[in-house]
Amino acid sequence: MIMRYKTKGFVLKKEDYLDDSRIFSVFTKDFGKVDLLGRAIRKINSKLRGGIGLFSLSDIEFIQGRLKKTLTDAVFLENFKNISRRSHSSIVACKISEVADSFIKGQEQDEKILDLLLDVFLKLDKSFEESKSNLIYQYFFWNFVSILGYNPELINCINCQKKLNPYELYFSSSEGGVICKNCYALKREGIKIKSDSLKVLRLILRRDWDILSKIKISETLKNSLVNLTENYYLYLCSVLKSNFKNV
């Protein structure tokens, strides 16, 4: 007997497969991340093509074959069509789906991840300014890694637990948070950060978009945030790679 599965999912990636098919990497509500084969979906008369696409949320139905899961039905719930109209939001959408696709290992289901993806894609869909789109990426990244268990300590020094001096702040990716001047001097590991970056990061982790969207982010602050995010991203890439090896 063929088992049919119904769920809703967000499409992180699509790749052409054979002559007329496509494989979608979908983060689903009930089965975590799954690869679904859209058989003959690139044919003009395909029933499926009107219900699923890159960066869309769809109601989906699939069957489990011996090797692959095959899509049998798809209906759009949200397709965020404004994103592809603006290059800055398209670039951020690609970055978000790349990070999500590479950091989510497999079939762990987590509604918080799906909610976050919808939250950031709705924001991107309405984002007219490049600076806002970039901030949406930071908002996604830090909240996403927090859901995965890598939430940074931002209140006290993560090493000695002392109160932080706002003029001498460092972020240590390997320690997983902000460290004080003394701990930095001992370890020589971390990057100097501005107190404004720390404030923005705290607002991001509180998901206070009302305030975040009103902040005027200077070029210096933007560069500092980008540097900090990139630093933690590269560190987590190396951690997750070594976790994969140990499985």
Query: Which positions touch Zn ion (CB under 5 A)?
Result: 157, 159-160, 180, 183
Q: How far is the CB of 198 from Zn ion (least distance, A)?
A: 15
Q: How far is the CB of 156 from Zn ion (least distance, A)?
A: 8
Cα–Cα distance between 82 and 127 in angstroms, integer?
A: 9
Q: How far is the CB of 179 from Zn ion (least distance, A)?
A: 5
Q: How far is the CB of 165 from Zn ion (least distance, A)?
A: 10
Sheet hosting strand 177-179, strand order edge to edge: 177-179, 169-172, 191-193
The CB density around residue 223, as the number of other CB atoms within 10 Å, is 12
Strand (E) positions, 42-112?
Answer: 57-64, 69-78
Length of the chain: 247
Strand (E) positions, the chain?
Answer: 4-17, 21-28, 32-38, 57-64, 69-78, 169-172, 177-179, 191-193
Q: Confirm if 93 and 53 have CB atoms less than 8 A apart.
A: no
Q: What are phi and psi of 6, to 5 degrees?
A: -120, 140
Q: How far is the CB of 239 from Zn ion (least distance, A)?
A: 22
Q: Which residue, 73 or 168, is less far from Zn ion as judged by CB?
A: 168
Maximum distance among all alpha carbons in the chain? Answer: 66
Q: Which residue, 155 or 160, is less far from Zn ion as judged by CB?
A: 160
Q: What are phi and psi of 84, to 5 degrees?
A: -70, -10
Q: How far is the CB of 19 from Zn ion (least distance, A)?
A: 60
In single-letter form, the type of residue at position 147 comes to I
Q: Which residue, 12 or 183, is less far from Zn ion as judged by CB?
A: 183
Q: Which residue, 160 or 239, is less far from Zn ion as judged by CB?
A: 160
In single-letter form, the type of residue at position 82 comes to N
Q: Which residue, 180 or 212, is less far from Zn ion as judged by CB?
A: 180
Q: Which residue, 60 or 180, is less far from Zn ion as judged by CB?
A: 180
Q: Which residue, 57 or 201, is less far from Zn ion as judged by CB?
A: 201
Q: Confirm if 72 and 62 have CB atoms less than 8 A apart.
A: yes
Q: How far is the CB of 49 from Zn ion (least distance, A)?
A: 56
